[in-house]
Structure 1
Amino acid sequence: MKNRFLTLITVAMLGSGAASAQSGDCATMAALAYDDAKAKNYEAAYPALMKVMEECPKYSLATYQYLERVIEDKIGKAEEGDKAELVEELVEVLETRLELYPEKTKAGKVYSDIAQLKYDNKIGDKEELYNAYDKAWAEDVDNFTSPKALYAYFDLVVDMQDAGDRNLQDVFDQYDKVYAKIEKEENDAAEALAPLLKKQEDGEELSSKDTKKIKNAEINLKNYSMVRNALNGKLGARADCDNLVPLYKKDFEAKKGEVTWLKNVNARLSAKDCTEDPLFIQVSEALHTLEPSAKSAYSLGQLAESEGKSAKALEYYNQAAELETNKSDQAKIYYRIANNYKDKGSYGQARSFYRKALNAKPSLGSAYLQIANMYAKSANNCGDNAFNKRAVYWLAADYASRAARVDPSLASNANQAAAAYRGRAPQKSDVFQSSKNAGDAISIGCWIGETVRIPSL
């Protein structure tokens, strides 16, 4: 069918006179077809749109946009045996759109949509399906953003490894690249959300456009969180220390001089906390000798921490953070440093590093939750009267709520924490007796040094 489309396109483009003669007919045909599509009268719209595409292929991008909706509807209603032909028809529509309107079409989205169509409708074997997703990744990774497609791209490699067509290292490599992509998309969504949440928390009026942006960002964060959890579930026991250590131990002597191999092994063992095995020490020391880096310094910090050498561990962690260029990895290091300070009761320093972690990775909701926890623990020490001490819990609740919004995987625990903090904060009767009003600002002293506004109760 595609060859027929392309032939018609060629014919349609030969000679300006012929094109001019057709323009009136194209406008009439398209107007009628579009009206039916807008009214969701898809049975009538389908043949009319197909005719517009065949006879007037470059009339309007809308032809392809409407056809996509119409054929998707037909696929949804078709019997299983009839879907394959419709899927191929939709694939040809999408590819033709990309060919004729490349400036208005995202290649990564088109190719991942095509792969997903085939995946959902079981068209092709696993290798063919994987190659379809791989094409989207190779052609335009920036616009390969569908959470569902990213999961399928990983899922296929795991299934092929189970069937003996891929090895365990292939699964790990695929996990790493898909997980990194998900983290990037989460961070982009969280960065877009952060200033809008600040406006909302400060009581500023949001436009309808801002409200829509918040809704879309939160939906995206929720979907990516679900896929991230699904990836970890699918990886399952494949990534535990019992599998990782033997996999890498057998190659250590042969590859201990290869920096790239050492980096990959170090990252995998570190991520899974396989830090007590002698292999981790061997890999970390070999890597730090060959090429001192953020990864090797971080690993040596983990090693020092496991041996109870906290000062040495912090020294390595700070070195790692300064050397790290990957924002997500840098956030992990800052978060670990913050936890060290928090465990020692050095809350001011801990918050400083949690904030550095958030600057590097805005979707790191656990950092907000840790700050909320420290504020709550400090409530009795950071107010000059009983009311202001309890007001600290409003601030803690705000941070816990923010954690839930930027990282939906924490939503349940974070929202429970926020509710608990609000339960300890002044209630409506307390506000009335204090002669204060909703919206009034309360300055919180000591190490916290922030202002919180009385909410409407």
Structure 2
Amino acid sequence: MKVKHALVGFFSLALVGMTQAQDGWNWPADEAMESKAREYNAAYVDYMKSDQFVEATKPLHWLFVNAPDLNESIYINGINIYHGAAGDTSDEAMKKQYQDSVITVFELRKANFDNESKWIENKAYYSYNYYKANKDKVGDALATFDRVVELNGNFNTINLVAAYFDLVYRHSAYNKAFTKEQLLERYEKLNALLAEAEAGGKDVSAPKQTLEQLVVAMELIDCEFIEKTMGPKLAADPTNMILAQQIFKYSIQYKCTSSPTFMTVLEIIDSDSPTFSTSQVRAMRYMQNKDYEKAQPVLEKALTLAENNVQKAEVYYDLAKIHGIAGRKSASRNAAQEAAKLDPEKAKDAWTLIAQLYMQSYNDCRKGVSRVEDQAVFIAAYNAYQRAGDSKGMADARSRFPSKEELFTESRQPGETFTVSCWIGETVTLATRD
């Protein structure tokens, strides 16, 4: 960042000829200048120790001009002194000058002692506090934060990442400095910094919450932005997995899962690096669109990715529905029975599905020779509804049982067993509806 303001009282600073920092003290060679440097060094330290920061700036100012490479301590102390002076004055114009001087001291330290990476984070801290509400200087403050990452990769004080994004937000609001895409790129980079810090054991909950709040405040992401801006970019470069992952995350977060773009990105991600969730959601979308032929192999893949019995039960139940729709009733029942075995919470739905399969099979399975035998399918359905705990379904199935008269006519008795033919193949106990 260029130095735009000199220290308080400076008209010009002779930076030419400043030497590299040396160990210890580099007193001026001229005897008179050395004596004065020692005097002013002692004076500013005494003022500083007694918290007389405004007074301390005067001898310190002389050292910056006349002995700039004296010792790095004059810059380290100079930050505290000018910051203290800014706090001591009630004059707003002077306060701003002292604050500008703090930033300039950092620049002078850089010019004389080439170790910027050691203190750049401190400069970022002061820049944020001084310039975050200053339309003309917020960009400079942001550039300092960029410099921290450039030099050090991340922040030691991880909460500064929240200040970083706040500067992005303010610079955008004050100066229209970024497009939505650039803001989104900034957001993702800062999230990556937080993820890295979290992996290193740091608590990032506070800055992460601030980032999310600022994203909401900026109205940065919505379904229209995902569909009209991010979607076309992915269409132009479908191998861009970073963009695909972003769209997937935002679509879930902002409830934009019904769009064509979400379906596209879901297919890309699930094909590249499938998880149980991506395969399950992808299959669900196919099912919603009644594209059952596409849904089945994706569900079968999800079954291999499932991490527990509950997840497996969910997949088996969805497979049961697909097989049933396709007319594969036996396969549908088998899948539903697996779901019921794996997850007791799924048993009600699974046995209800089986009961419905039986109820729907009357026309397919009846032979038209014996009403009792044909209607026995409803007894099998009743038993399945009973296992599901579905009293309404049980009543519906029972209403279709054979009557006492029909059993008598065919010389059969309640309590007799009978094996239902067709694909059902279950043995039931004969009963009547009346």
TM-score range, shorter chain: 0.5 to 0.7
Work out the CA distance in 2 between the residues paired with 1:317 and 1:239. Answer: 32
Q: How does 1:54-73 map to 2 (within 5 A)?
A: 54-73=65-84
- The verdict on how the C-alpha distance between 1:314 and 1:92 changes in structure 2, with shifts beyond 3 A counting, is farther
Contact (CA 8 Å) 2:165, 2:187: kept in 1 or not?
no
Query: Match for 2:118: what amino acid?
Result: K
- Other-structure match for 1:293: 273
Q: 2:231 aligns with which of 243, 249, 253?
A: 249
Contact (CA 8 Å) 1:297, 1:317: kept in 2 or not?
yes
Q: 2:150 aligns with which of 138, 156, 170?
A: 138
Work out the CA distance in 2 between the residues paired with 1:316 and 1:99. Answer: 58
- The verdict on how the C-alpha distance between 1:338 and 1:31 changes in structure 2, with shifts beyond 3 A counting, is farther
How many angstroms does 1:228 deviate by? 2.0
How many angstroms does 1:71 deviate by? 0.9
- The verdict on how the C-alpha distance between 1:31 and 1:185 changes in structure 2, with shifts beyond 3 A counting, is farther
- The verdict on how the C-alpha distance between 1:300 and 1:272 changes in structure 2, with shifts beyond 3 A counting, is farther
Work out the CA distance in 2 between the residues paired with 1:12 and 1:136. Answer: 22
Query: Match for 1:98: what amino acid?
Result: K
Deviations 1:345-389 (A, max 9, x none): xxxxxxxxxxxxxxxxxxxxxxxxxxxxxxxxxxxxxxxxxxxxx
Work out the CA distance in 1 between the residues paired with 2:164 and 2:113. Answer: 27
Deviations 1:78-111 (A, max 9, x none): 4333333223322211111123233485253155
Work out the CA distance in 1 between the residues paired with 2:20 and 2:154. Answer: 35
Q: 1:108 aligns with which of 116, 120, 132?
A: 120
- The verdict on how the C-alpha distance between 1:162 and 1:147 changes in structure 2, with shifts beyond 3 A counting, is same
Work out the CA distance in 2 between the residues paired with 1:310 and 1:259. Answer: 23
How many angstroms does 1:26 deviate by? 3.6
- The verdict on how the C-alpha distance between 1:177 and 1:340 changes in structure 2, with shifts beyond 3 A counting, is farther
- The verdict on how the C-alpha distance between 1:154 and 1:299 changes in structure 2, with shifts beyond 3 A counting, is farther
Contact (CA 8 Å) 1:157, 1:166: kept in 2 or not?
no
How many angstroms does 1:50 deviate by? 2.1
Work out the CA distance in 1 between the residues paired with 2:56 and 2:27. Answer: 29
Q: How does 1:267-282 map to 2 (within 5 A)?
A: 267-270=249-252, 272=254, 274-282=256-264
- Other-structure match for 1:227: 207
- Other-structure match for 2:13: 4
- The verdict on how the C-alpha distance between 1:124 and 1:184 changes in structure 2, with shifts beyond 3 A counting, is same
The yes-or-no answer on 1:47 pairing with 2:26 is no
Q: How does 1:87-166 map to 2 (within 5 A)?
A: 87-103=99-115, 106=118, 108-113=120-125, 115-120=127-132, 122=134, 124=136, 127-143=139-155, 145=157, 147-148=159-160, 150-157=162-169, 160=172, 165-166=177-178
Deviations 1:386-405 (A, max 9, x none): xxxxxxxxxxxxxxxxxxxx
Query: Match for 1:175: what amino acid?
Result: Y
Query: Match for 1:35: what amino acid?
Result: D
Work out the CA distance in 2 between the residues paired with 1:311 and 1:11. Answer: 68
The yes-or-no answer on 1:33 pairing with 2:40 is no
How many angstroms does 1:229 deviate by? 1.5
Work out the CA distance in 2 between the residues paired with 1:64 and 1:302. Answer: 59
Deviations 1:254-298 (A, max 9, x none): 333544543443344355564454432321323455xx237x786
- Tell me the secondary structure at the aligned position of residue 69 of structure 2: coil
Q: How does 1:136-215 map to 2 (within 5 A)?
A: 136-143=148-155, 145=157, 147-148=159-160, 150-157=162-169, 160=172, 165-190=177-202
Q: How does 1:333-412 map to 2 (within 5 A)?
A: none
How many angstroms does 1:154 deviate by? 4.4
Unaligned runs of 5+ in 1: 191-220, 319-336, 344-457
With normalisation by structure 2, the TM-score equals 0.53
Unaligned runs of 5+ in 2: 1-5, 288-294, 315-434
Work out the CA distance in 2 between the residues paired with 1:281 and 1:249. Answer: 11
The yes-or-no answer on 1:19 pairing with 2:29 is yes
Deviations 1:290-317 (A, max 9, x none): xx237x7863355468889999547447
Contact (CA 8 Å) 1:107, 1:136: kept in 2 or not?
no
With normalisation by structure 1, the TM-score equals 0.50
- The verdict on how the C-alpha distance between 1:100 and 1:128 changes in structure 2, with shifts beyond 3 A counting, is closer
Identity %: 14
User: Greater helix share, 1 or 2?
Assistant: 1
- Tell me the secondary structure at the aligned position of residue 106 of structure 1: helix
Contact (CA 8 Å) 1:136, 1:144: kept in 2 or not?
no
Work out the CA distance in 2 between the residues paired with 1:100 and 1:45. Answer: 21
Query: Match for 1:284: what amino acid?
Result: L
Pick the structure with greater CA Rg: 2
Query: Match for 1:86: what amino acid?
Result: Y
- The verdict on how the C-alpha distance between 1:164 and 1:52 changes in structure 2, with shifts beyond 3 A counting, is closer
